[in-house]
Structure 1
């Protein structure tokens, strides 16, 4: 049974913005009842290589508002910052940036690919994350992110993952959520993780940071668990925030 479509594109160039959004609108015409998720690389002022990036992005966002159900926003500036500050890479390559994006994509699609205790497919994610149809632009993050040197002696626990997951430095869009408020969030944990521990941590986050969450949506952090960890890690978490 076809659940939906996932499209990866950049909003800065002509192909990703023009051809990408045309493809999305054509798919929407053919399959109006299927989910449309896009991983969109948005332009950022510091890392820009074409003059017309703002025009391309502005024109394609209109299409995404109308034809996409979930848009995961990623930007190169935030990815470079993560590579240099957190992963301590002196000159990150596109491969390093793509590796970060693939980690998030893998986390978001975990529940489609593996059985889990609390599964959330594309439709369930949209139901829980999107209070109004046009507000479906998400910030994403991934934990644990550590430099290669510190990798071997850093213990990974649920509190550690939660703390890193909600850290603005871990967001893959260069936008500080502390300047706004979250409508909804989703935390997807992978590995041998206790459900109770996850729920306790999420409750703590909401109680301590109540000012960062809108008060008219109670219990607005959704959690999903999958027992199969990503390759090379004992546990990981993926963060999706609608702010």
Structure 2
């Protein structure tokens, strides 16, 4: 939500984004992610294929999405963007649907899904231009990828949880509904382990590709 507000403020030139603005942005992203289920295209994919093609390890399955371009109503009729410009903007921090910087990690896998009048040759050319940024570019925009910087999200959740749990804030509501207090500690430990898993995979990737600049953003 915080990033969506920043996104709407910066790119849609809205000083005070409303829920309707944020909901429209999120719904557009979800709609575009599932476009291939409803319309014909050069490469139609099932949602299950995201898991098959983008998840390298069972626990490393949290994907990040970005959406480009986002243009205000005042500019949409007179601002034309090329495929290259749209592709480049998708790799910037601002279009990410979670607050993290993709420049602070490595791409394990990437899928670009273009919607509109785009020829496959143009997609392939854009993918080749980003070989210095992605490990396994898969042509296709909205963007979906498994990225090490998602650990930033987990770290932020851990920190906020710790601040609340040390005061046992709201714990009694959950316990009153049948949860055990120990489940909170177990969930916290599991999330910390997940964050560690991402760090280890990122370190292994760096060691395995030592001397190869193709796996760093």
Q: Which TM-score band applies after superposition, normalised by the shorter structure?
A: 0.5 to 0.7
Q: How many residues align?
A: 147
Runs of 4+ in structure 1 off by over 6 angstroms are: none
1:169 aligned to 78, 94, 99, which one?
94
Partner deviation per Cα, 1:37-67 (whole Å, 9 max, x = no partner) = xxxxxxxxxxxxxxxxxxxxxxxxxxxxxxx
3-state SS of 2:70 partner: coil
Task: Return the offset for 1:137.
Answer: 0.8
- The Cα of 1:206 is off from its aligned counterpart by 1.3
SS at match of 2:107: coil
Q: TM-score, structure 1 length as denominator?
A: 0.58
CA distance in 2, matches of 1:187, 1:178: 17
CA distance in 1, matches of 2:18, 2:146: 29
Structure having the higher Rg: 2
TM superposition score normalised by structure 2: 0.65
1:93 corresponding residue in structure 2: 18
Contact 1:137 1:242 in 2 (8 A): yes
SS state of the match for residue 130, structure 2? helix
Task: List per-residue Cα deviations over 1:75-123 (Å, max 9, x = no partner).
Answer: x111001110111111111111111111110111011111111111112
Unaligned residue ranges in structure 2 (runs of 5+):
148-217
2:47 and 2:39 mapped to 1: Cα distance? 14
Q: Kindly report the root-mean-square deviation, in angstroms, between the aligned alpha carbons of the 2 structures.
A: 1.2
One of 102, 107, 126 as aligned partner of 2:32: 107
Alignment check: 8 A CA contact 1:130 1:136 kept: yes
Q: Indicate if the aligned counterparts of 2:3 and 2:99 stay in contact, CA closer than 8 A.
A: yes
Q: Which runs of 5+ in 1 are unaligned?
A: 1-75, 215-219, 225-236
Contact 1:118–1:223 (8 Å) recurs in 2:
no
Structure holding more helix per residue: 2
CA distance in 1: counterparts of 2:126 and 2:59, whole angstroms:
30
Matched, 1:129 2:67: no
Tell me, in whole angstroms, the C-alpha distance in 2 between the residues paired with 1:113 and 1:134.
Answer: 30
Q: What is the match of residue 62 of structure 1?
A: none
